[in-house]
Amino acid sequence: MTVKQSTGRLKTNRTGRPSSPVPRELLVLSARRVFARAGYAGASLSDIAAESGITKATLLHHFGDKESLYREVLTDVLGRLGSMIIGGWTGPGDFLARFDAVGAGVTRFLGANPGAARLLVEELVRSEGGRLGPARELVESTVRGLSRLLADAMESGELPRQDPHQLALSLAGLHLTYFAAAEVSAALLQKDVHAPSLVSAREAAVKVQGRALCLAPRYAENRSRR
Amino acid sequence: MTVKQSTGRLKTNRTGRPSSPVPRELLVLSARRVFARAGYAGASLSDIAAESGITKATLLHHFGDKESLYREVLTDVLGRLGSMIIGGWTGPGDFLARFDAVGAGVTRFLGANPGAARLLVEELVRSEGGRLGPARELVESTVRGLSRLLADAMESGELPRQDPHQLALSLAGLHLTYFAAAEVSAALLQKDVHAPSLVSAREAAVKVQGRALCLAPRYAENRSRR
DNA sequence: CTCCTTATCTACCGATCGGTAGATATTTGA
DNA sequence: TCAAATATCTACCGATCGGTAGATAAGGAG
């Protein structure tokens, strides 16, 4: 809705024949917005087409079917997020420094890509395992990768020993829920969560809270020894 | 699917006239399962009817329309969860004791009610504000109540000062995501998250992690003063 | 200029959706 | 016992869904 509302073709024709073709990435962006807003089942191809200023038939001409379009939206988001995570993780510094870098990167990514968190949550939460296997596996393997990373850090003593899966799932929840619940969050904070200032604030909060989650067993131990 | 599968009427009639009427709570339970599995848009009344062993027309006779049925499912879950929270919070002990009690109660509730977390997440994440106002407001006010609770505790010095909204949202994510992503969680942990032993394990993890989230600023401060 | 490819549209199809109508049988209560 | 209320079913309706067919026009290559 931000870009080119209502019959927003690049050039208007009497009957809409090819003018300058609508860029594919613009279609994917519109689809992401609608899928994020209504969920996979609730999003109709007509909605997405209207959002991009084309017709349903044209949309299907480009993507084949609804599922392929959805998959393209999701792999776009997951791909960029994944390379962001890898970039942060392979950077310099000790465990906590790299952990902070990844956390900040994830927050900035989710803040800069409205709807991304909601898509990931829907995929993470989906139970009809058979319907969209590849995408679901991609999400699952991302969490599994995070879990393995944490386990390695525990092995090398950089992180207190604890169940890495429980920790990974808690971290995923910490990062995703805030942005996925964008409207509730915004209602509480009186400001759009995607505003730069709030993204910075969340980045700071996540840094402190993410570390606390990782180091929680150590704190609990100190507390009991007090 | 657990109870009375495939034509599971209490008494089978040639044409299904009223035998012993299917209890309303059983219908609500079936509806919860289907709504949780497929989401509001993805769940069809025929699915729910089949799950309960009645026909769509009978279902509509009892609940009027789809939205009313959904609202009944949601208010049932939210009502029981809410009274559980209030019970834990008005119990004895200092802030951390009551906080732990609520956290453990929430975990046990979500563990004992498969699908509940998924429903709450869908509602928390929904963006089409106008569609289901009441239910959405109920979820939102629950988070807001949690936020106010935390703010009070900060006011009285029981909790380090920090943005109560950011903390409330993080806590909600911590509790909900794990159970909402039940299948991914189960895949990681190699066991159903609703199994009693895993619920206990999660309860322990959440106790440590929930406290760490609350006290995170204090830890960060100690760390920087080191 | 002429074809061929491509992007787009209008018009339509079968399936499914939420919801309604009306018949039938059970239960209940006077 | 009998009538009113209730629970359930089958059959159907209009709307919408994802997807297809076919016509039309623009752009590019020779």
Say which amino acid occupies A136.
Answer: R
Pairwise CA distance, residues B49 & A200, whole Å: 48
Pairwise CA distance, residues A205 & B163, whole Å: 8
Alpha carbons within 13 A on the beta-carbon side of A202: 33
Q: Which two tokens stand for residue A119?
A: 């898509």
The answer, yes or no, to whether residue A30 has pLDDT greater than 90, is yes
The reply to whether B133 Cβ lies less than 7 angstroms from strand D is no
Estimate in Å the CA A16 to C1' D20 gap, whole number. Answer: 19
The reply to whether A72 Cβ lies less than 7 angstroms from strand D is no
Q: How far is CA B226 from CA B41, B219, B222, B223, in A?
A: 53, 11, 6, 5
For the segment A140-163, the average pLDDT, to the nearest whole number, is 93
pTM of the model: 0.88
The verdict on a CB contact (< 8 Å) between B174 and A172 is no
- Chain segment B59-84, per-residue pLDDT in tens: 999 999 999 999 999 999 999 999 99
* Least confident segment among A186-200, B4-18, B68-82: B4-18
- Chain segment B23-47, per-residue pLDDT in tens: 889 999 999 999 999 999 999 999 9
The verdict on a CB contact (< 8 Å) between A216 and B220 is no
Q: First CA to last CA across chain B, in angstroms?
A: 56
Give me the pLDDT at residue B130, please.
56
- Chain segment A97-123, per-residue pLDDT in tens: 999 999 999 999 999 999 999 999 999
- Chain segment B94-134, per-residue pLDDT in tens: 999 999 999 999 999 999 999 999 999 999 998 776 555 66
Q: Please, what's the b/e burial string for A72-89 (b: 16 or more CB within 10 A of its CB; e: otherwise)?
A: bbbebbbeebeebbeebe
- Between vectors from CA A126 to CA B127 and to CA B76, what angle results, nearest 5°? 65
- % of chain B at pLDDT higher than 70: 86
Are the CB atoms for B84 and B90 separated by under 8 Å? no
User: Which residues of B are less than 8 Å from A163 in CB distance?
Assistant: 201, 205
